[in-house]
Amino acid sequence: MKQIITKAGYTPLDIEKVRDINKTELEEKKMWREMKIAAVFTVPLLYLAMGPMIGLPLPEFISPDSNLSLFALVQLILTLPVMYVGKHFYTKGFKALFKRLPNMDSLIAIGTSAAVLYSMYATAMIFSGDKHFMHSLYFESAATIITLIKLGKTLEHRSKGKTTAAIEKLIKLQPKRALVQHGEELIEMAVEEIEIGDVVIIKPGSAIPVDGVVIEGESSVDESMLTGESLPVDKQDGSKVVAASMNKHGHMKVKVTSAHDQTVLSNIIHLVEDAQGKKAPIARLADIISGYFVPVVISIAIIAFIGWMIGTGDLEFSLRIFIAILVIACPCALGLATPTAIMVSTGRSAEYGVLIKSGEALEQAHKIETVVLDKTGTITEGKMTVTDVVSNGMDKDKLLYLVASAEQGSEHPIAAAIVNYAKEKLVQLKSVENFKALPGYGLEANLDGQAIKVGNERMMKDLGVMDQLSHEWEQYAQEGKTPIFVVINNQLVGFIAVGDTLKETSKSAILALKEMGIKVAMITGDNKTTAKAIAREVGIDEVRAEVLPEDKSEAVKTFQKNSITAMVGDGINDAPALVQADVGIAIGSGTDVAIEAADVVLIKNDLNDVVTAIKLSRKTIRNIKQNLFWAFFYNIIGIPVAAGLLYLLGGPLLNPMIAAAAMSLSSVSVVSNALRLRNMKI
């Protein structure tokens, strides 16, 4: 078809899977652009409004002493663009208010609207010649609130966009083209064009482009990017292979069993997307409080306005009281209470080697009741090392010398582990002769006149030498180690046990989590014997082994039914589970996909930092609650005063300017309390 199209003078294009990946980026760019616009107008506005109060110089043509009208007008002009880029606060806030579901946006909308409207009234009075209204301009308060909260929302949106990057990395793992056999002809084509039943040729060292079944050839395939397990898997006729796994050294023909958009990798991509879409937003404490606070404030302001109108008949006097109540209730401190504490806390956590990507994750982490751990690369080092050399009559050093010399020619991770172990023991290795890799079995070679065969249990049974060795090796297998048998001149002379060793800190971290009252479980794609052996060693009671990559997120869901759950992992296969969990925690040495999909990243690859992250979260939430208290403390005291309670008793009337000062004082208290987190210790 392509040849015919080309001959006709056209260029055929490969089918591409179209994804709306730019939407998030465009939205984020728009938010940053609006935030910058708000900042550009707010900074000079703040200087203009606050400068004269603290002795900063102003050009004479806009100085309140020489040109009060222009002083007020310039502030209004600087405020309008800020209100425009923050227009969604008003559309959403008033909409929620009219639906009787007031939230944080409602409070922002009411408070800033009140401040701006009263300031516009004051500007009109200044133009009419009343200079007393110079102290009744609150434009900068409204602009500052919008700019600060817009910054917080922009940073929050940025953290949520990380999953898109994770999905993109997953897509890039799958090869774009494959070599397909049609009769005697080999055709290179896009994977999207490959159909179920086609035969694909897999060359040594290439990534497998499709899910399928081997119909010819043998090889070892590295599936670590999907399963997390470091050992390559032997493949022969009838073995299943999955897209994005890496063929090591054999040549295979694979019959396609799944369409390109239904592979294991595609399913993982869909799971990540679905989990991200279904992740319920955390109900902000500030929004909950706003739901009660806004109606109360509005009710008090309206009642006070009506009351003073009836009592005095003075519209301007009653309006000043109405505005003073709304200004003192303005959510500047409320807007700062959470983001300031989170900003300081995430900075402090980074010093501990814990990167927390969003305030949502930090807020949720303090509630964690269950921590689910992946095995390979999380609890264990994720790489094979020699744990034991067991001899059956031969000197151990000589056995190691012969095996490591032979293994130098192999690319297998077990071979690398044996060679590295020999070098650490300062064993001098030699080049071997007649080296031959036997996929699915092991290898054979000649050295110093001796015939060496190194391989698995299957190879030993085929050679008929298993009865030459006691069953001691079975004990090592039960401990989750892999025995590699050694035959010299047709005599089984021993075996080398290779295993994935525990990280030094795993045991202490799991104990610390338990002492905090947190349940610890393990999910792994590894076999049950190995999984249970590791779990016993580190003190984990609940183990789910042989879990397929696409089923890990389902396993996390079962824990979520009964508790707030965190998932800790490092592999691509962990990505759906990391996104599904209430808090996803990635090991810093893990794959880019896992790191992008997670809410928290542990830079030092230390499980003790899971404990650190939870403790940091608990301290931060305590600080936020203190901040919310101080944010409302001044309001609760100031609102009755603003309503004229002291004036009724013969005391002073709260001027809107003093109300704004009280509002500023609450902000100072909140920021000061949040800054204490810089010194917190774990």
Task: Report, as residue numbers or ranges, the catalytic residues.
Answer: 374
- As a whole number of angstroms, the distance between CA 379 and CA 540 comes to 11
Extract the tokens encoding 52.
């004269």
- As a whole number of angstroms, the distance between CA 513 and CA 519 comes to 7
* DSSP H or E run through 186: strand 185-190
Secondary-structure percent of the chain, ordered helix, strand, coil, rounded to 5 = 55, 15, 25
Residues 6+ apart with CB under 8 A from 327: 111, 114, 115, 118, 138, 141, 642, 656, 659, 660, 663
- As a whole number of angstroms, the distance between CA 599 and CA 619 comes to 18
Residues 6+ apart with CB under 8 A from 51: 57, 58
The CA dihedral of 519, 525, 529, 535, to the nearest 10 degrees, is -20
Alpha-carbon torsion (297, 298, 301, 307), positive or negative: negative
- As a whole number of angstroms, the distance between CA 428 and CA 416 comes to 15
Extract the tokens encoding 5.
């199209």
Extract the tokens encoding 670.
């909140």
Encode 106-132: b = buried (16+ Cβ within 10 Å), e = exposed. bbbbbbbbbbbebbebbbebbeeeeee
Encode 467-489: b = buried (16+ Cβ within 10 Å), e = exposed. ebbeeebeebbebbbbbbbbbbe
